[in-house]
Amino acid sequence: MAPQGQLEKFDRYTLLHRIAEGGMSEVFIAHDPEGDDPKQLVVIKRTRDDQRGNTTLIKAFVDEDAVLARLSHPGIIRSLDFGRADRRYFIALQHVWGESLTTLSQLCHKLDKPFPTYAAIAIGARVARALEHAHKATDEQGAPSPIIHRDVTLNNVLLSNLGEVKVLDFGIAKAKGRVTQTLMGEIKGNPEYLAPEQLQQKRDIAPAADVYQLGVLLYKLLVGRSPFPTESEGSFVRALLAGEVIKPSSVVRGFPPRIEQLLLKAMSQDPESRYTDGGEIAAALFGLLPPEWRDEQPRLAALFGDLAGPRHARQVAYIRKLLDGIAGDHADAELLQRDHGAEEPKRLHVELSLSDLPRPPELAIAASKARPPALPKTTR
């Protein structure tokens, strides 16, 4: 730990700002002096100091890096380095300036307007293409060896200031060769997005589970609430297992029928009735876009600027001060924390038993009363 007022050196990196801290890991924006750019930024995720002996956590870090090493797609955040320093394991990840969909949907609500329909569809299509790459992964011999994300949520999708869409956090992905395996009685992922077969702890989780979670993500983005009743945990779980999705058209007047049909198919109770994988739902989503949205990136960049432009400018200015060797003053730091400090950090390893399932979150509208979540998210 660096003395107060000094930036911490960790391995070859200089830690500039903590993005998030959970019970087992912490995440920083950092400077990489060996990068292609003299001011190259990366994201460092490392084990907490008090978790040095946590072998399960260390194996999870090894697994995540191994999964990312098998993936190379413009829609997936890249792993750049993996190692151990000061008796702590770390992963260095590609840094991208942007905001999570959680943040952007909250900013829309603050402006009292819905998330733009075609923007949501375009983002969903790009997420689906990234998932398709994971679903079609192969092993070293070229045999099919799909990687299933298992945690496709608003918080794990980033929209960059340039209009790029990035999928984050393969920390609990299902992949052949993982060191850590899911045990009976464990459920991995965000309970609000779980497919029925995940909640039922079935072993044969397929890419269709990611399709289901993408359906939930798009539903929340477009409808502004959960697809299931949220009055109680029991009613939520019963409706989820029975496939009783609240039709978007019953919540939003004039909801487009073709989009509703797509969402209901993606969230079918039976995995066999869904789109089979990321590629199939990507084709369906792209098919919903009008001609003017065929080149969606400039439109998504404009949306980012409209929603998060001032936040982004403050974030970039603060980090540039640190890169230039000028410590931000107290006012700068407090302003940054107001932008970045609201989101509850995600744990690296999510393991729940059925009895541990928390009460499902309230509607997105109620949740959006909280301050917007943390800094440009490239990790959990």
CA dist., res. 245 & res. 62, Å (int): 37
Bridge-based pairing of strands 88-94 and 157-160 is unpaired
Query: Do 78 and 105 sit in the same domain of this protein?
Result: no
CA dist., res. 166 & res. 159, Å (int): 7
Mean pLDDT by 10 residues, the chain (380 residues): 76 93 90 89 94 86 88 95 93 96 95 95 98 93 90 96 94 58 50 88 86 97 92 85 93 96 97 97 97 95 96 94 64 49 35 31 29 36
Contact 109, 63 (CB under 8 A): no
User: What pLDDT does 60 receive?
Assistant: 85
Active site residues: 151
Supply the angle between the helices 330-340 and 297-323 in degrees, to the nearest 10. 150
User: What pLDDT does 6 receive?
Assistant: 82
Domain residues for the domain of 88 are 8-97+310-343
Query: Do 139 and 222 sit in the same domain of this protein?
Result: yes
User: What pLDDT does 380 receive?
Assistant: 36
Is residue 368 a part of any domain in this protein?
no
**Residue that the structure tokens 């609240």 belong to:** 246
**SS3 of residue 251 by DSSP:** coil
| CATH value at residue 107 | 1.10.510.10
Query: Do 166 and 272 sit in the same domain of this protein?
Result: yes
Query: Do 156 and 268 sit in the same domain of this protein?
Result: yes
Query: Do 137 and 267 sit in the same domain of this protein?
Result: yes
User: What pLDDT does 183 receive?
Assistant: 38
Query: Do 148 and 278 sit in the same domain of this protein?
Result: yes
CA dist., res. 375 & res. 99, Å (int): 7
- Going through 76-223 in order, the beta strands assigned E by DSSP cover 79-85, 88-94, 98-100, 157-160, 165-167
Sort 343 into a burial class: Cβ within 10 Å, 0-12 / 13-18 / 19+.
buried
Is residue 203 a part of any domain in this protein?
yes
| CATH value at residue 92 | 3.30.200.20
